A and B are shown apart, each in its own frame.
Chain A
Amino acid sequence: GNSVTQMEGPVTLSEEAFLTINCTYTATGYPSLFWYVQYPGEGLQLLLKATKADDKGSNKGFEATYRKETTSFHLEKGSVQVSDSAVYFCALKTSYDKVIFGPGTSLSVIP
């Protein structure tokens, strides 16, 4: 079946450090891939997306490239800020609108 695996957290980084959160997926066909972010006490927000192989999604300094050969969609940011502290969810969509989320990775950025 379809599934999403993320690196386990929590991840703690110092401000301005480089961030990578790994995400790999299993899916039939050609899914669309997403990263969502959940700030404390809030709902999920779409951070970025990619709809086909080699697409790069980017937003707010975050990037992720759809790698079909490695079935991955790793999230990266060159210099994290305290305000990036949140839980990050990798997700995929195959048929209809059903979205499958990974377990989430908690990120804490310390000054």
Chain B
Amino acid sequence: DSGVTQTPKHLITATGQRVTLRCSPRSGDLSVYWYQQSLDQGLQFLIQYYNGEERAKGNILERFSAQQFPDLHSELNLSSLELGDSALYFCASSTRTSGSLYEQYFGPGTRLTVT
């Protein structure tokens, strides 16, 4: 158990809909990262937040957005869903924003199926 929790575990929704995925980082971790894992694209970094502020952006679509709240939990919002958005979405957390001994701890993921 990494200490990172994600809800829900599974989500099935229709095209055009909007969903929210939730992540609670490990106790004390200030950074939260979101990743998308799909069969054709592999594991893609989406976005990172540090202590409530956006820190780094990866291959995140404009239809997707995220935020980190004062209690450090984070939400990833996916809107106007398309079939191709079906994937496993991982959240990870880490203690530091940088440093050579940095380590990310991954949650179990949310499996999103768009029908």
Contact = CB atoms under 8 A, between A and B. Distances in A.
Interface in B61-112: 90, 92, 94, 97-98, 100-109
Interface stretch (A14-22, A37-45, A77-85): A37-45
A110 interface: no
A49 B104 CA distance: 12
B57 to A, nearest CB: 9
A51 interface: yes
Given A96-B98, A101-B42, A46 B104 contact: yes
Given A43-B90, A44-B90, A104-B42, A97 B107 contact: no
A86 interface: no
B43 A104 contact: yes
Given A42-B108, A43-B108, A43-B109, A49 B45 contact: no
A11 interface: no
Contacts of A42: 108
Contacts, number: 60
Contact of A97 (B2, B102, B109): B102
B: interface residue count bin: 20 to 34
A102 B31 CA distance: 22
A89 B98 contact: no
Interface string B1-40: 0101000000000000000000000000001010000000
Contacts of A45: 2, 106
Interface in A41-88: 41-46, 49, 51-52
Question: Which of B33, B98, B100, B109 has its CB near the most chain A CB atoms (within 10 A)?
Answer: B100
Nearest to B109: A43
Contacts of A49: 101, 103
Contacts of A104: 42-43
Interface of A: 32, 36, 41-46, 49, 51-52, 89, 93, 95-104
For the complex of A and B, list the 6 residue pairs with the smallest distance between their C-beta atoms, beginning with the closest.
A43-B106, A51-B100, A101-B43, A44-B106, A103-B42, A43-B108
